Amino acid sequence: MPHFYRKYPTSGILQRERNRTQAHVIESWEELIGQQIGPEGRYTVRRRVGEGGMGVVFEAWEAERERSVAIKVLSGDGLSDPEILQRFRREGSRFSRLRHPNVVRVYGMGRARGLLYIASEFVDGVNLYDRMKEQGGAFPIDQALSICRDIAVGLDVAHASQVVHRDLKPENVMLTHDGDIVKLLDFGIAKDLNASVALTVRGAYIGTPAYSSPEQIRGETIDGRSDVFSLGVILYEMVTGEVPFKGKRTTEILYNTIKVDPINPSRINESISAPVARLIAQMI
């Protein structure tokens, strides 16, 4: 394991940076509730609904169109970080190009009380992570494949626009309450494949350990195949109830992803057919 630290030095700061970002809470954000933001006060903020790696999410009401809207506000740390600020701005511009039922739609972005925000479609549903917890084990194979197919369709739309998600995980997959439509969200670290200048430090690692591809962990240039790997991990987890690459520490998970072959999923769940097992093997 010490060799892993030396070979991939950026991995050692991953958890510290993630904890720093998530732990930073701006109490004044609650003051946004009830306020009107956006062009001509278009959005009335109703309630805080979540928090991600880059900001806090509120539900707002757009009276003109009579619809709920998700408002993602950049975290306080990001306001003084040019790299994160650039990434946030690009999230809005890149994500707004994606128009498909399996991708959450972005309506616009702007500033409110000195804070950057992105307004997007509000999804009334549950994320895949919470659905997995409710399930308490493996999904029925047909259901898992159906969810996987819809995620793949959404990714195909993104990849056709030269956008890679780079942080595909169950928390970023929403299942709507009305028919369980699958929607991808939070392309918060999406990267334009045509960009001549990378927005992240070369060799830096951005992602979620259990779902990251080997090339992503190594800090290499990635493309849509990295998202396919992450989707393979999600499918593996849906049909077995566990992730293929485990560890007690972040670095152990990253090491195992690069160096260790996962257990054949059919050994964990005997109902998994050979074709499904081969599909997963091709993805990861």
Return the CA Rg of the chain.
Answer: 19
- 227 annotated active-site: no
Q: Which of 191, 278, 184 is nearest to 232 (CA)?
A: 278
Residue tagged active-site, from 77, 130, 167, 223: 167
Assess contact for 232 and 168: CB atoms under 8 A.
Answer: no
Using CB atoms within 10 Å of the CB of residue 100, give its burial: 0 to 12 exposed, 13 to 18 middle, 19+ buried. middle
d(CA 26, CA 269): 44
Alpha-carbon dihedral 233, 100, 98, 184, rounded to 10 degrees: -30
Phi, psi of 132, rounded to the nearest 5 degrees: -65, -40
Catalytic residue ranges: 167
